[in-house]
Chain A
Amino acid sequence: MHFADGEVPGDYVGYVHKKVLWLTGGFFFLLVLLVYSISVGAVAIPVSDVFLTLFGQNVSHQYDAIIWNIRLPQALTAVAAGCGLAVAGVAMQSILRNPLGSPFTLGISNAGAFGAAFSVIVLGTGTMQSRVADAITINNPYVTTIMAFLFCLLATAVILLISRVRGASPEVMVLAGVALSSLFTAGTMFLQYFSSDAQLAAVVFWTFGDVGRANWPELGFMSLIVAAATVYFVANRWNYNAIDAGDETAKGLGVNVGRVRLAGMVAAALVSAVIVAFLGVIGFVGLVCPHMVRRVIGDDQRYLIPGSCLMGGILLLASDTVARVIVAPYVLPVAVLTAFMGAPVFIYLLLRGYRR
């Protein structure tokens, strides 16, 4: 059968252009925010000097040191982590057919926290250095990071195993994730109960996600994983659109739903694991950014995935910028601020409903 008498409808093209405009606007807003974020802080740097320094001009040694060693890596880490968490969140919501899907639905963050606690308390990797509370030091951060990462992967492997036995249904995955979360939380509490004051402080401090923790090589590695996952999710946007239309419709359209679901879950888990292991637990971004974007540009994954990615970067960077200046000269970990910043905006969007 063939339908040859159609044309490209103008109103639809206009509708698509509007979405592209939103995404372009979001991208430029993120750039502006990035420059602003670098310019504010304990030492205020004029925006023009930020630009000159970023483009390789030597304005002053002090600015060079502040921008290249501290603020730029921290801001870029916030953007990369925000993008990664949000893009993993939007994929999970589609794969699990559940609006509460997020990178942490599968128990990833609690597994990471358990891994860090295990490292600090059992392996004695000690106490973490903090810019705010100097007493807390983790003398072997790499072991802590690696342990957190391993436990994130362990949680993912367990869910994959359960999915293999019981079929990759969304219900099984969500419920297995909830069970694992509780299990790891209980494990962390058990370890904490028998730990010293200093260890306890280090564990609790580790769980406060902080984008100031990553150095350039770590940022590079994290960005690579986030970029790869984003490309993967974008490449699968039509598969996710099909799954959103129902498993049967998707299968009728030739989508191998089981395989797409498992592969997407592994990709989302990997991104989350890397971010959690390097930065600690940063909640809310992965869950809420996709929903914020849904309310502006709808559920079509073609726009939702890039939109969520941008929104995640914007929310985490904005939160981190506020976290750096709100109680200056002290710096709050960003995890404290994400929910403070995001929740009111999200509740407003919920009340307002969808954009027409």
Chain B
Amino acid sequence: MTLSVQDLSFFYWNREVLNEIAFSIGKCEIVAILGPNGVGKTTLLKCLNRILQPREGVVYLDGKDLFRLDGSEIARNIGYVPQRIETGRLTAFDAVLLGRKPHIGWDISENDLRMVDAVFRRLAMEHLRLSYIDEMSGGELQKVAIARALVQEPRILLLDEPTSNLDLKNQVAILSTISRIVREHGISAVMTMHDLNHAIRYADRFIFLRNGRIHAHGGPETITPKTIEEVYGLPVIIGKLGGVTCIVPESCPVSTGA
């Protein structure tokens, strides 16, 4: 399954947020959308499965115009994990079962229950099955949200800052899980991210946004101190630490407390 974006522009009322965005996503790859706060990363992600409607441009899903497809058909192909997860008095199993929505007719079938059970096993969270999601930690909730997107049986996963509320261990756990599922099932994933170190470790391709346009786009070679300084306005050093590529700010400018 491929997703390709052509000349996409998005406006909030009259304010231009995204302009002339074009890229495509192939099979079995993880794409990181990077850039400073407010640059339009989340907006771009939401245009990819029609949560938001761009003013111009086309998104093609396997050659088909996304904006002519039925909502359920998009949802059967693209799973979306939002940044903020709403809770309620629901068990984790029921919350994940909701992900079967695009596939169910009048009611769920035994097959749907089996699918949910399998995803719980795959993410090693069987023990959470009957826990109420309004009593869960951030890491557990994030897993539930990812599981919900996985039972949609998507071929593309969209994740909006999947690690933003998690501790270091859970960040690694979530990203490793996503990476493993992408490889095992031959699907692809698009993530908006803030942590460049995680991005370089888990993503195959990188899209840097700046002033609503794609500033740089490509494989790991795209990540250079020059690009990062241009995008984030902060000089960085890129080096190896224990064989792992690390990005750290060059100096820590002391706040003047103005």
Question: Are A254's CB and B101's CB within 8 A?
Answer: yes
Which residues from 1 to 42 on chain A have a C-beta closer than 8 Å to any C-beta of chain B? 1-9, 11-12, 15
User: Which of A6, A235, A252, A354 has the most chain B CB within a 10 Å cutoff?
Assistant: A252
Query: Which chain B positions have C-beta within 8 A of A245?
Result: 85-86, 88, 95, 98, 148
- Report chain B residues within 8 Å CB of A242: 98, 101
Contact B130 A11 (CB under 8 A): yes
Tell me whether A238 is interfacial, beta carbon within 8 Å.
yes
Interface size range of chain B in the complex? 35 or more
Instruction: Kindly list chain A residues whose C-beta atoms are within 8 Å of the C-beta of B80.
Output: 248-249, 251-252
Q: Is the CB of B101 within 8 A of A238?
A: yes
- Chain B residues with CB under 8 Å of A15's CB are 91, 93, 130
B71-A12 in contact (CB<8A)? no
B82: chain A residues within 8 A (beta carbon): 246, 248-249, 252
* B246 CB-CB contact with A under 8 Å: no
Please tell me which one of the listed residues B86, B90, B122 contacts residue A246 in the complex, with CB atoms under 8 A apart.
B86
- Chain B residues with CB under 8 A of A171: none
Measured between beta carbons, the chain B residues less than 8 angstroms from A248 are: 46, 51, 80, 82, 84
The answer to whether the Cβ of B7 comes within 8 Å of any Cβ in the partner chain is no
Question: 1/0 per position for A246-265, CB-CB distance to B under 8 A?
Answer: 10110111111000000000
Contact of A163 with B by CB under 8 A: no
A1 touches B154 (CB 8 A): yes
Q: Which residues of B contact A246 (CB under 8 A)?
A: 82, 84-86
Contacts of A7 in B (CB 8 A): 114, 117
Which residues of B are at the interface with A, using a C-beta cutoff of 8 A?
Answer: 46, 49-51, 70-76, 78-80, 82, 84-86, 88-91, 93-95, 98-99, 101-102, 104, 106, 110, 113-122, 129-130, 132, 145, 148-155, 158, 181, 185-187
Query: 4 other contacts beyond A8-B113, A8-B117, A249-B82, with CB at 8 A cut-off?
Result: A11-B129, A244-B86, A251-B80, A252-B78
A-B contact pairs, 10 of them (CB 8 A): A1-B154, A5-B121, A6-B114, A7-B117, A8-B114, A9-B113, A238-B98, A238-B104, A253-B152, A354-B132
